Amino acid sequence: MNKRSVKDLDVEGKRVLVRVDFNVPLDESGKITDDTRIKAAIPTINYLIERGAKVILVSHLGRPKGKVVEKLRLNPVAQRLSELLNRKVIKTDDCIGEEPEKAVSRMKNRNVLLLENVRFHPGETKNDPEFAKALAKLADLYVNDAFGAAHRAHASTVGVAEILPSAAGFLLEKEITTMGKVIQNPEKPFTVVLGGAKVKDKIGVIENLLEKADNLLIGGGMAFTFLKALGYEVGKSLLEEDKIDMARGFLEKGKKLNTNIVLPRDVVVADRISADAEHKTVDVSQIPNALMGVDIGEKTVEEFVKYINQSKTVLWNGPMGVFEIQAFANGTKQVAEAIARSNATTIIGGGDSAAAVEKLGIADQMTHVSTGGGASLMFLEGKELPAIKALDDKE
User: Which positions are catalytic?
Assistant: 37, 198, 351, 374
With both helix axes pointing from N to C terminus, report the angle between 170-184 and 36-50 in degrees, rounded to the nearest 10. 120
- The phi, psi pair for 297, rounded to 5°, reads -90, 175
- Cα angle value 280/286/292 (rounded, 5°): 55
Q: How far is CA 171 from CA 6, 13, 175, 280, 322, in A?
A: 11, 23, 6, 43, 30
Q: How far apart are CA 162 and CA 71, in angstroms?
A: 31
Q: How far apart are CA 187 and CA 345, in angstroms?
A: 8
Three-state DSSP at 72 gives helix
- The residue type found at 76 is P
Give the DSSP H or E segment for 239.
Answer: none
Could you tell me how many residues make up the chain?
395
How many CA atoms are closer than 13 Å to the CA of 367, on its beta-carbon side? 20
Q: How far apart are CA 114 and CA 94, in angstroms?
A: 10
Q: Are strands 266-270 and 279-283 parallel, antiparallel or unpaired?
A: antiparallel
Give the DSSP letter string of 302-350.
HHHHHHHHT-SEEEEES-SS-TTSGGG-HHHHHHHHHHHHSSSEEEE-S
- The phi, psi pair for 268, rounded to 5°, reads -85, 130
What DSSP state is assigned to residue 248? H
Q: How far apart are CA 199 and CA 87, in angstroms?
A: 46
**155 within 8 A of 142, measured Cβ to Cβ:** no
Torsion angle in degrees (nearest 10) through CA of 323, 329, 335, 336: 60
Contacts made by residues 355-364, CB under 8 angstroms, sequence distance 24+:
356/319, 356/323, 356/332, 358/34, 358/36, 360/333, 360/336, 362/336, 362/337, 363/36
